[in-house]
Amino acid sequence: MEKGKVYLVGAGPGDPKLITVRGLEALKRSDVVVFDRLAGPQLLNHAKPDAERIYVGKLPDRHTMKQEDINQLLVDLALQGKTVIRLKGGDPTVFGRVGEEADLLQKNGIIYEIIPGITSAIAVPAYAGIPVTHRDWASSFSVITGHESPDKLDHSIYWDKVTNATGTLVFLMGVAKIAYISEQLIKHGRSPETPVALVQWGTRAEQKTVVGTLSDIDERVKAANLKPPAVIIVGDVVRQRETLSWVEKKPLFGQRILITRARSQASDLLAKIDDLGGEAYEFPVIETKLPEQAEQLQAIERALSQAEAYDWIMLTSVNGVEYFFHWLDHYEVDVRRFHKAKFAAVGPKTAEALRARGIRADLMPESFIAEGLLDSLKDKISPNQLALLPRGDLARETLSKELRAQGVQAVEIDVYQTVMSVPKDLWLPEMLANGEIHVITFTSSSTVINLLEALRQLGVRNPAEALQNIEIACIGPITAKTAEENGLTVTVVPDKYTIDALVEALVDRRRMTKGD
């Protein structure tokens, strides 16, 4: 059997978007992903759907896999002919033990590639507004391990040389040893008034920064109850934080926001949350697909065959637009055959999707729900008109029932199906229990129902109870009603039922809870 290949990849400091392009390419093409917690669980969304995922970190029922066992695991997988990625937090060559892994791969004749990552030694200070070098204050910096016990630190660190060797000192994994580190630096020549910063979970929603001096930083860290992992920065560059702190000033900073809508639809929401400093956590509980049953396909073909007869085409979602045009293409129906029909679109995004197809909506209601469309149609429809309603299989019957009540012949076709999805996620139940999810967004009633069921399948006994202390944001009143009927307390509903309005409402809610 031909041997496989191993990619030893730096995943970056925590924010999944800080992986390199080369690292992401390796992740997408690998058959097996070997990872730990620091690699950022959301990165796994980019792996192939059928890729094997092997967690080598600590779980409640077992300790972290020993390094020697990880080394051998990589060899064994590659000998099976698999392409393997070893995802490591930060940069694999900075205290990442990549040399041990590569050495065993080399001895077994396995091709490997080391792909650098953005080290937390630089990225975490940057996210706290602290550049590790500065023209006036520091022209060099050192990266030092702070993880060892004090006696080992004394053997591995030459304090008399390190203390003043560079303008900035960066210690990784040294929170528990901060008192000893400060003591040694003062003892060997650093002023007790030297600025110090500790940044916990830098680049993630939990990012927290404590600033002091060598003389008082231990006190301040204890008072703030700062825990690992954290990066320690020593030097005058810490003063830059007063003016350069940027991410912590964003309105959604510190918020990890669960996104439940289909991954194919979530990009706009993800981008907006990211721009505002929030951390979007994808957990798509729905996906859309083409209908497959013969009677459904026959109904679509039959409805499209009488294109010339329709007075109205009424579209209530972007999905409705996309799938409608898919079926036009599939059955080779020229859109110009609908020359008699006017197009109605519920919501600006639906209208935008139509414009992308060269069609401007004749009608778009002010209220972006079916009831709003009905209000707008009152003076524009008449009995015996024929309306086509391309929709999803879970769409409400409100629109079609009211149209029929007014004498309009409503032809409904399910151009797509919405099905439940349960992502493979090791962490979500634990994150919910630990208060690490701050907001959950729902963009349809099906996302509410499916999330609760998905959590049950992941072992959460009472999902509604597990979500009680989390902000619940719903795109509109229909979704909010479903959430409340299922035991959730809804705290955010925008005035307009759009993604933009939902994000604005999240920002307003955040400002209110912070007291801004």
Single out the residue of 233, 237, 229, 124 nearest to residue 170, CA to CA. Answer: 233
State whether residue 33 is helix, strand or coil: strand
- 28 is known as an active-site residue: no
- Considering the candidates 15, 91, 173, 314, report the single residue annotated as catalytic: 173
| DSSP notation for 361-426 | -SB--SS-SHHHHHHHHTTT--TT-EEEEEEETT--SHHHHHHHHTT-EEEEEEEEEEEE-----S
- 65 is known as an active-site residue: no
- 36 is known as an active-site residue: yes
| DSSP notation for 98-144 | HHHHHHHHHHTT-EEEEE----HHHHHHHHTT--S-BTTTBS-EEEE
Single out the residue of 444, 512, 458, 500 nearest to residue 262, CA to CA. Answer: 444
C-alpha to C-alpha distance for 489 and 481, rounded to whole angstroms: 10
| Cα 174 from chain centre | 29
Burial class (CB in 10 A: 0-12, 13-18, 19+), 89: buried
C-alpha to C-alpha distance for 515 and 477, rounded to whole angstroms: 26
- Considering the candidates 58, 152, 380, 424, report the single residue annotated as catalytic: 58
Strands 195-200 and 168-172: unpaired
Tokens at 58, concatenated: 């600590």
Tokens at 114, concatenated: 């080391």
C-alpha to C-alpha distance for 116 and 93, rounded to whole angstroms: 7
Single out the residue of 170, 169, 174, 171 nearest to residue 149, CA to CA. Answer: 174
How far from 278 is each of 170, 248, 336, 447, CA to CA, in Å? Answer: 26, 10, 44, 21
Residues 444, 447, 450, 451, CA torsion sign: negative
Strands 286-289 and 409-420: antiparallel
Give Dmax over CA atoms of the chain in angstroms: 92
Tokens at 74, concatenated: 């990589």
Strand partners, 209: 199
Helix pair angle (348-355, 318-330), 10° resolution: 30
- Considering the candidates 5, 15, 31, 36, report the single residue annotated as catalytic: 36
C-alpha to C-alpha distance for 283 and 426, rounded to whole angstroms: 12
| DSSP notation for 298-351 | HHHHHHHHTGGG-SEEEE-SHHHHHHHHHHHHHTT--GGGGTT-EEEESSHHHH
Active-site residue set: 36, 58, 173
